[in-house]
Amino acid sequence: MRGAAAIGALALGLSGAPAAPAGPAEAAGTPGAGVEGVWSTEPRSSGAYLEIEIAPCNGAPERRCGTIVGAHAGADPGFVGNPIITGMAPDGPGRWRDGEIIRPGSGTRYSSSLEVEGDRLKVKGCAVAGLFCGESVWVRVR
């Protein structure tokens, strides 16, 4: 449990914010539909949270990457502009896999997958060959 809790806090401990109306998204029914846009992470116990923009990766337009675009309620503003998700490959409608999530501050990388469920994004990160995993739910901002 301790390892799973640590992974859950990785870059993920970051959405409990109220859901915002959906913004433009990829066409429904296409692999990875709806993952592009800005997402709010789960707030930490302090209330701090980040906003992440997910878009095609530079140099690999079929994959998706995420960059921190906002730091709120005490989150470190130095995180803004840093990558947090890299190399996600489509894995069917609304699903992405084989990417990494990067813990802000430490730069530690974890294998990761994403799954879009309406205006929510389930983010999973794992360490030690998948032995320790954690999940977080982010909410679409736009």
* Mean pLDDT for the stretch of residues 3-26: 39
Q: Residue 27 above 80 pLDDT?
A: no
Q: What is the mean pLDDT of residues 131-141?
A: 93
CA distances in angstroms from 22 to 88, 90, 92, 102, 140, listed in the order given? 21, 20, 20, 25, 6
Question: What architecture (CATH level 2) is domain 2-140?
Answer: Beta Barrel (2.40)
Round the average pLDDT of the chain to a whole number and report it.
Answer: 82
Q: Are 62 and 98 in contact (CB under 8 A)?
A: no
Q: How large a percentage of the chain has pLDDT more than 70?
A: 77
Dump pLDDT digits (tens) for 88-121.
Answer: 999 999 999 999 999 999 999 999 999 999 999 9
Domain limits, the chain: 2-140
Residue 128 is predicted with a pLDDT of: 81
CA distances from residue 64 to 51, 72, 98, 138, 139 in whole angstroms, order as listed: 16, 24, 11, 16, 17
